[in-house]
Each structure stands twice: as C-alpha cells, then as structure tokens.
Amino acid sequence: GDVHYLAKTLVVVSVYLVQIVQEWRTDVMMVTPWLAPIVWDGSFNIDILNAQFHQRGVRIGLTVFAIKKYTVFLKIFIETAEKYFMVGHKVCYYVFTDRPQDIPSFSLGEGRTLNVIEVTSYKRWQDVTMRRMQIISENCLKRFIYEVDYLVCSDVDMMFAGHHGVEMLSDVFAAIHPGFFQASRKQFTHERRPESQGYIPEDEGDYYYTGCYFGGKVEEVYKVANFCHHAMMADKAKNMEALWHDESYLNRYFLYYKPTKLLSPEYVWNNYYGSPVYVKIKRFLHVDKDFEKIRSN
C-alpha cells in the first residue's frame, strides 16, 4: 500500500543521503565483522565529532618513549603532533625517557602540556620496547586516570603528516599494520608457538595490528598494557619471547578482546609500502632511521 511505498522510498533516500554525506566507500572494508568502524578518509564528519567531544570537554593523553638515542626523534614527533594531533582539544603529552636533560623545550598550542617522566633504561632493546607496556599500565593507575579521558600510545620514530582527530577515539582502538592490510590470515606474522602467551592459532586472527599505535579510555588501555606486560613476564620465566615482542602480545589481546574501533593504514603508514590508491591520505609516517647508528649503544 501507500505506507509501504513511502517507507521504501524513505529508506532509499536516506541510504543515498548517508552515502553522499559520508562518502561511503566500496573500495575498502569500512566495518569489522563485529561491527567496529574502520576509520577511513571520508567515513566521518569531523565537525559533528568535534562538537560532541568538545561538549564532553575530553582530555587526550599521548604517550611516547624516547630511550637512549631515540631522543633524537622527539623534536619532529612533537612538532608535527602540534600541527595535526587533536588540534583544538586538550592534549597532554607524556614523554618517558632516561635522558631528561636531552629533551628540548617545545612551544605548545593552547590547552596542551608536555610532561617528561624519567624512567630507567634496559640493556636489551627488546626489553626497551616491551617494558613500555609495564610503564604504561603503572602510569594508568598512578596518574593517567586522574589527568586524561583517553590515551593514545605511540612509537616515537614517527611523524604526523595529516589530520589525527577525535574520529580515532573509542573505548579501545587498534591500527591495522600497513604491511598487512591486504594480506590473508595465513600471512599474518602472529606468534604461532602454543607455549607462548602471544600464541594465535593458524586459523584465528582477524587483522594484523601494529604495535606502534593503539589507545582508548584509560581503563581499557590499562587492561591492554597490563595483559601484555604479564604475558611477556610469563614467557620470560620460560625463557621465551614472542616473535614480534610487544606487538605479538598486543595482537593476542585484541583477538579475544576485540577493539571497538580500527584505524585504517592511513593512520600508520610506511613509505616502504609505496602509495596504493586506497590510502588517500598518509596521516602518520615511519621516519627513516639509520638502524646501525640509532640502535647501537
């Protein structure tokens, strides 16, 4: 009847409107099988989101570790974050370092602060990268929970090159590793030894997530970091270490506690992987490093 026809027309029109407002894309997956959005260029309206997050007065923490020679990466990291990361929102940088005297001073935008927190270094580089989880989890309880609403945890050998706004934020989010976006499950470099706490069976694993960028509400980041730290310690007690260190344990966590939002590879790109058409914006880039020089003691 008439009502049925009207309803049908309305559906068609609104689907069409959603498509033009959000430019719904058909070239990439926009949602996971558990209905978490995957954030791609064109999938969000930043004005609506900014209004929502401003209404809540949201505070965002960005954690970064600059241990030993990695302090050299901090300048570009912070300077580009000032241009692109959560502009217009309250931002708190947390820089963990063993060399506080090497941290330059930065001129920051309004509502933005930077905290330098001294931590001890570890001899093995694998421990330097893995212990980040312990330090993050401890600081969630000690200070993050009192100071910010969301946390974003990043590698330092990176530079921002495009918008990173509140569209990223969700209870717990992970970023798809740029090298594995088009890879099949078999190709994911998960830890495959069942004895390891990072173990993911061959026929499981949804995506391959990068270890260099993840976040969420402080309570959720605490759970992620605490899990990864304890998984690492359990493996260490057996004299084991997962294939890709913290990244492997992170992938294991996200297999059973699925992220509520995924960041497309726009949010963590590496020019090593070229310029595929589906990555319309490279928002965050790995900085080239002289491995010999930067990783020697």
User: 197 to 256, contacts with ligand 2GW by CB under 6 A?
Assistant: 210-212, 244-247
Given the residues 241, 247, 266, 292, the one annotated as active site? 247
Among Mn ion, ligand 2GW, none, the one that 54 touches (CB under a kind-dependent 5 to 8 A) is: none
Smallest separation, CB 125 to ligand 2GW (Å) = 3
User: 160 to 199, contacts with ligand 2GW by CB under 6 A?
Assistant: none
| Residue 10 backbone class (left: φ over 0; alpha: ψ -120 to 50; beta: rest) | alpha
- The DSSP result for 176-219, as a single string, is E-TTSSS--GGG---B--TTSTTB--TT--S--EEEEEEEEEHH
Q: Which range of residues in 18-26, 151-159, 179-187, 275-283 is near ligand 2GW by CB under 6 A?
A: 151-159
Closest CA to 88 of 173, 150, 165: 165
Smallest separation, CB 245 to Mn ion (Å) = 11
Contact with Mn ion (CB under 5 A) among 157, 191, 220, 235? 157
Rule CB under 6 A: say whether 80 interacts with ligand 2GW. Answer: no
For residues 285 and 164, the answer to whether their CB atoms sit within 8 Å is no
Smallest separation, CB 171 to ligand 2GW (Å) = 21
Smallest separation, CB 270 to Mn ion (Å) = 9
Residue 292 falls in the annotated catalytic set: no
For residues 109 and 87, the answer to whether their CB atoms sit within 8 Å is yes
Structure-token pair, residue 94: 């947390």
Q: How far apart are the first and last CA of the chain?
A: 78
Catalytic positions are 247
Which residues bind to Mn ion, rule: CB under 5 A?
A: 155, 157
